[in-house]
Structures are given as structure tokens and as C-alpha cells.
Structure 1
């Protein structure tokens, strides 16, 4: 694959790269760093639609925005994290900026560039991307391999349900994903609709400024409170251990702790549920109705357990600066929200922390030899490659572990695959169902009995299928994939090559 522009006979009037990475967020920066380290001979370009790097962390400007995963595993293996486990938006952006500088990626990133379409040519054995810059006429860029690192949700807008009467409300409605820079919550009555990590972050961040802030939820979420610190990390730092060693040790500890939590959720869900709820109850005032407001109807980890650093959400409730309401919305009116219970919430501002709209392959129209690709009609190989779509990998992380852990597993997988293509002289690769797969049952992208966040459920019909065999599934088990992915044999008949 090296010297793609020459080897593939590309048009000299079109820019050509061995690899094009779409997205300059946590996935794109990590993938590009690994590509540069493992294949310094390959040319590459990173295309980013936003005005700068960071993806989620550039978009999310709402008060208190922070990670919901520890930075030992959300950070990269090649760049030690030296701060507190849970990091703020600004700290994460600084970390990513340093990663770009250290890997000298800046010359390879083009901002405000949007991929309008991607077409694979079997005759030319390459992708042609139509790329626009700030609305200008799109121009073609050729790519030997396409690495989709654009994330899992649409940046343009978040998900807000269409409640009756919203148009009548005279106050302001804000989705956290489009937080206005001029937003002023001082002395306002604010209702935050939602029960997840975003709502739990916003409430304590707003509580000191608002006249009143209320968290309105339809269904409770599991929470866990704790110090934003790790005793082991602190001790190792006090001993002046090499930060790279500390980072690796803490990564292993975080993965082990998550695996134990997952095992407990599977083997003793009622016991874990009790532990989580009692842990929250201990942070709340005596007599607070934790059964109503903090007891979900589903099993732990069917959706993420939201970590509350320093218990700041519960402190805001205990101090009387925030309140909880668990109810259903009947309708909006001019002054606020009417609830199905008959109660109402009068307010000046409504913040809809109600989730994301999922982005499937960046919402880019794909085609192969002029035929549109319907990804819902494809089958995913390990959730990375897709039947009928040559030389394209998608980075989609874990629901139960930090996203970056899978970014790096896929990064090594793709780099090994690129090495195999170069070593064998193959121009392209695509996974294909084998004869023994002909009767294989095709299932939704994930098992919705174990993982069912709203954004995923709303877009399940648009996602690739999985099979009933491990190689045709996107595993949510990091321990399994860490052992298995490095052992994938690229000479297996599941991979079809063109020379």
C-alpha cells in the first residue's frame, strides 16, 4: 500500500493518501499516533469537520463538563495521565493538544473540512472522498484506506423529545450540546430534564448561581459517589515512581475494577443494586426518598453507572440548592411544565439533557462502484470491518469500558492489517461471509438485553448486523478482545483480498 499515489495510478490533479482518518477527536488522534509509529512510510491525512481538535470535548461547553470515565483508561497508553482520575473538559483538551504536538500530527490535520461522500472504485482500488471546506464546492481526495474515527453521535444537534406544548413555553430551552456562550443562569428557575451523567454534572455546576434548579427525570439512573482521587496513584506518586509506570499500573487496576463490577452485575445483580442504592442513600439527607429518585427499574450496567466525583450532585441536594422530581411530562405551557402527577414546575429555563442522536459512519453517504451502501444490510467483522465495504474500518468503543481502550485495540488491529496488505502486495481487503456462515442468524448490532442506551436504541435499525459467532460480533468484553484481536490471522478465509 505504500506510495499509493504511484502504485494505484492516481490522478496527479487529485490529492492522494495511503490512509485518510475521519475525525480529530480522541479516536482520530490516537489512531493517527499509532499509524505514524507503526507505519512511518504511509502517507495520511486527518479530516475534521469542526474548527479544532477534540470532538466531544470541543462541542461540550456546558458548565461542569467532565469525563465520565477515568483518565487512566480514557487517556492513551502512550501518554501518561498525571492528574485526578476524572478530568474537566479543559484538562482533556489540553491533554489532546499535547498528544497532537508530541506526535507532530498538526501538519496532517485539516479543520473545517467535511466529507460529503465516499465512493470505492474496484477498478482503481481506492476511495474517492468528496470533501468540502466551510460550504465551498467539494473537491476529491483519494484514499487507499479509510479509517472512520468520527465518534458515535451527531455534533449538529442533540436529542430532544417533542413534548406537547413546547412552542408555548416563553422561557429558554437549551440542549447541553448547543450551550450558548452568553447563557446566564443567575437568579433563574432552571429545570434540567434528564437523569444521566450530563444532568448529574450540570446540576451541581448550576446550583450556586440559580435561584432554583430541579432535576426532572422520567426514570432514575444508577450512580456511584466517591473521591476524585485514587489512593494507589497518590501513594505511587509520593514514592516518585516513573509516571509511565504509574499510568500502566493504574490502567490495569481500572480495567480490573471494571471487570469485577461487570461480573457482579451479571452474577449478583440484586446485591450490586443494593450496594449502589445504599451508597447513594448515605450521601443524602435523612428521610430523602432514594427509593423513588435513585432506584432504576432495570439491572445495573444495562446502562452506564454514572460516577459522581466528590458526591457533588448529592451535596447540592443535601444543601437545599437542588431538588429531584421523578415524574412524566404531560405538557409544556407558557410558564413551565405540567406533570402527569398533577404537579407542575414553573421555570425560566429548561435544559434538555436527554441524550444524543447517533452518527452512523459520520452520516456520510457511502457507495461501492456507484451502488449506495446500506450499512444496516452489512455484517460487522468484530465490529470493525464490514461485508461489501473494502478497505474501511470503523472505530466504535465500549459501552462498559472507556472508549479509548477499544480505540487502541482497533488501532493495533488496523496497523497489523495494513502491514499484511503491504507484505502480500494486496491492494484491498473486505470481510466476507463463508459457506459455513450461510445459515448464520443475523442479529442487531448489540445485545439490547445487556446494553440499551437511548441513542443506540433509536438508531439500531440503521446499524450493521451481527452474527451468532464471535468473529461476527462487536464484543463488549475488553479482556476477551485484548487477548483475541492481536491473534487474528489475516490469512483466514473470512478475509477476501484483491491483488
Structure 2
């Protein structure tokens, strides 16, 4: 048996991959680690997205790493600040030694004979092969090269630019111009106030249906106070617990009392909008809270932009694009010099790579998810997939620590491989329990979710923490081999 190049290869140098590398370096010293990054920059999403106002939609005290305090009391931070935070993490922990830039994994095949993975990798120098005992996927879940881009009647008649936020042109001059933003998700809700603040003329968000928009104070004053009389790590931990509890309470109450929470969120919106504003039309979703992600806005910036009269919302169905802008089905004309299609993402697993076991192709949709981080039938394989109802990084942190725990257990027992074995004829449910368009469009490619542990993805940090940190590794669902 030929020696393998690495013990663990991490795919992706974004916030997930860097967190993975930190914990592996700390808890599995001596292991040969590599991080494959297809681009030439650290940071993943936060080095790719550059549209105006790009920021986190989760508070940084739970979105930040457990091991590295977020020092700024600003809770919803800019993309540039998050990128700098990830870069600091890399520098402080000497993690760049592991990163292989311009290395894109295109295929991974598990060899039962070698008890390891053989990876096909594209580099600037051409195609190469790499091998590893464990494969840790930290590529996120959406396609970096292609956004969801529906077509609209009459697009060819519109003379101005039609922009996709994921590929925002840095030389776009929008000062003083009328902009129509099609969409109602986090990107659209971020763009509206950002564009008005940066000199755009009238900015109109054109939404087919409303989203829950919740205002949050962007300065964590309690964190500022705690930093003055306790060590930074303690203050950060206290802020992290506070914001985690707020997430759990919001989600829990929304599931138990959806009508009450719906009224509460709409009342909050109405209090920040001009008197008589049609809240029932523009901020009254057809679904219950947390059936899709809430859109959190710092200091109510979206509502403030509407109050200043240089931002507006139009709710309804688009009939056609035309030279003047967008004509709605009810006849209303939204004038525009620029149209921005903030219409969502395309989900993509494995960073677009394919995967096989002993040459037999594996389709993730036919696998079941074990503890929200491994897939049935795929040996020595870990997938970092964050929460949809809380900060992404909370689950990524648990996944990285579970990987370390699993590797140490296998070393002690002299095991070379582990594979989750799904139950026969399992009851399956949707992997992600949100009705968001990008998730519904991806049903055909997502793995299955079971109805009971360890095959059920609960989207619950407390339950996952108990299952990964405090429960043993070996169980009847894992098959180990020496």
C-alpha cells in the first residue's frame, strides 16, 4: 500500500475551512493537513461578494469562531471586516502553511484497497492527483460561478445594465440613478439602504411576496461594558451566550406561537415606518416565521431608507421589462436606469466536484446525513454544513471538533476507515426544513434527512452539542475497519 500524501484534506479556505484547520492543528497535532482553495484568496463568500453593503445576516458573536473573540461591538458586520477577521485567524495560527491556492478538486474516489481518497485536482500547472485518509468538505452550499437567474419578458428592450449582485461590477456608476432591485431576501434588503446611502437616486425593491424583516441594534452595548471589567474572552463568551439564547428563543417561540410572533414582527416593522404605511401589503409574508430565514437589518436601516422617501417597496407580479423599467401585472410602472436581480442562489454540493467509492459514482441525494455532518455509504468523509435557523459557524465548529474526536478515537483503536450505514427502508424527510426558493429548487440534489437520531438533522445547537461533544463515537450506525 502506497503512503498517502495527507491525513486530512480540507476543501475550501472560507470561514468553515479555516475553522476546520484550526481545530485539527490544535487537537490532532502531527497530522498532515492541506487546504485546497480553488481561488487565490482566503475568505470564501467574504472575499467573493463585493456588492454595496455586503454584511453578515447573523450576529458576529455567534457567527465568529468560538476560539477567536470578535472584538468589535458591531453585531452585523461588513464583508470586509469579516474577511479581515478570517485573515487574522490564519496569520495568528500560522494556517497559511496548509493552504494550496488555485487548487480545485474536480473528483474524489475512495479506494477500499488503499483505505484512502484519491483526488483529481486542477492547478495552474495542470491536473494533478493528491491522496488523503480523510476528506473534509468546507465549500459551503452554493454555486460561486452561477447565481439563480430567472428570465423576464421584455428584458431585451431594457437599455440599462441588468446586474447580478454575486458578480457586482466595481466600475458601476449608480449615483443619482433610479434602481429597481428584484427580490426580497437578505441581499435585496441589504442593497436598498446601502445604495441610497451611497448616492443612488430612487431605489425600489420589487418583491413577488414579502419577507419577515426584523430590526436589531447594531451596537452590542452590553459587550462594550463587559469588555471594561472582564477579560476579553469572558466578555466574548458572555455575548455569544446572550445572542445564542436570543436565536433559540426567537426560533422556538416562532415554531410554538407562529401567529403571535407574526403579529409581533409586523408590529415592530410598523413602528419604524411612516404612519399609514401599508405594512399588511409589503411586510406580511404568506408563510409563518422561520419557515424561511428572517432578514435582520441593523438599526432598522431599511425602514429608515423608506422613511426618507428615497427608497420604496413594490409588491406584486412582474409583467414585463420595458425601456422605462419594470411594468407590474397591476399596471404600475417602476422606473429604472439600472435593474438588479437579487433573485437568489443556486445550491451546489461538493464545490461542484463529483465523488465515487471504488469507482462507483455516488449521488449525495441517495445518501442519508449522519449527525448532520457525514453521509451514509461514504467512508472517511465529513461535510461542514451550517445552520439555516442560526449562525452558520455554530454547526461548523461542532463538525470540526467532532472530526477531531473521531480521528483521535480511530487512532486509539487502530482503525483506518469509518462509514455510516443507513438503516434499511428508512423514513426520510427533507434535509433542510425551510420553504425558501433556493432550497426548494435544490430538493433533487440534497441528501436525505431521517426521522430520528442520529439520522435526523435537528437544526438545534444544544442538541447537536450534546450529541457531538458529550456522547461517544462508536455506535451501531458506524462501521469501522482496521
TM above 0.5, yes or no, is yes
Following superposition, the deviation at residue 266 of structure 1 comes to 1.5
Q: Corresponding residue for 2:448? A: 465
Q: Is the 1:171–1:335 contact (alpha carbons within 8 Å) kept by the matching residues of 2?
A: no
Q: Corresponding residue for 1:438? A: 424
Q: Which secondary structure state, in structure 1, belongs to the residue aligned with residue 223 of structure 2? A: helix
1:198-249 deviations in Å (ceiling 9; x for gaps): 1111111111412211111011111111321123212212x33211001111
1:9 aligned onto 2:2: yes
Q: Corresponding residue for 1:60? A: 49
Following superposition, the deviation at residue 60 of structure 1 comes to 1.1
Number of paired residues?
A: 480
Q: Corresponding residue for 2:474? A: 491
Q: Is the 1:157–1:178 contact (alpha carbons within 8 Å) kept by the matching residues of 2?
A: no
Following superposition, the deviation at residue 86 of structure 1 comes to 1.1
- Aligned counterpart for 1:21 among listed residues 10, 14, 25: 10
1:336-357 deviations in Å (ceiling 9; x for gaps): 2221111122311111111111
- Aligned counterpart for 2:263 among listed residues 246, 271, 274: 274
Following superposition, the deviation at residue 28 of structure 1 comes to 0.3
Q: Which secondary structure state, in structure 2, belongs to the residue aligned with residue 497 of structure 1? A: strand
Q: How does 1:91-490 map to 2 (within 5 A)?
A: 91-134=81-124, 136-208=125-197, 209-237=199-227, 239-433=228-422, 437-447=423-433, 451-490=434-473
Q: Is the 2:450–2:457 contact (alpha carbons within 8 Å) kept by the matching residues of 1?
A: no
1:74-96 deviations in Å (ceiling 9; x for gaps): 00011011111111111111110
Following superposition, the deviation at residue 167 of structure 1 comes to 2.9
Q: Which secondary structure state, in structure 2, belongs to the residue aligned with residue 367 of structure 1? A: strand
2: distance between equivalents of 1:198 and 1:368? 38
Q: Corresponding residue for 1:5? A: none
Following superposition, the deviation at residue 71 of structure 1 comes to 0.6
2: distance between equivalents of 1:278 and 1:366? 49
2: distance between equivalents of 1:49 and 1:349? 32
Following superposition, the deviation at residue 438 of structure 1 comes to 2.2
1: distance between equivalents of 2:381 and 2:32? 16
1:106-141 deviations in Å (ceiling 9; x for gaps): 11111121111111111111111111124x531001
Considering only aligned residues, what root-mean-square deviation do their CA atoms show, in Å?
Answer: 1.3
1: distance between equivalents of 2:455 and 2:80? 38
1:418-469 deviations in Å (ceiling 9; x for gaps): 1111111111110013xxx32421233233xxx2222111111111112222
2: distance between equivalents of 1:372 and 1:205? 45
2: distance between equivalents of 1:347 and 1:257? 39
Q: Which secondary structure state, in structure 2, belongs to the residue aligned with residue 288 of structure 1? A: coil
2: distance between equivalents of 1:360 and 1:264? 32
2: distance between equivalents of 1:322 and 1:439? 53
Q: Which secondary structure state, in structure 1, belongs to the residue aligned with residue 465 of structure 2? A: helix
**Cα distance 1:297–1:227, how it changes in 2: closer, same or farther (>3 A)?**
same
Q: Is the 2:106–2:352 contact (alpha carbons within 8 Å) kept by the matching residues of 1?
A: no
2: distance between equivalents of 1:439 and 1:139? 40
Identify the range of structure 1 (210-219 vs 329-338) with the bigger mean alpha-carbon deviation. Answer: 329-338
Following superposition, the deviation at residue 386 of structure 1 comes to 1.1
Q: Which secondary structure state, in structure 1, belongs to the residue aligned with residue 297 of structure 2? A: strand
Q: Corresponding residue for 1:81? A: 70
Q: Is the 2:137–2:383 contact (alpha carbons within 8 Å) kept by the matching residues of 1?
A: yes
Q: Which secondary structure state, in structure 2, belongs to the residue aligned with residue 472 of structure 1? A: coil
2: distance between equivalents of 1:392 and 1:217? 40
For structure 1, the residue ranges without an aligned partner over 5 or more in a row are 1-7
Following superposition, the deviation at residue 334 of structure 1 comes to 3.1
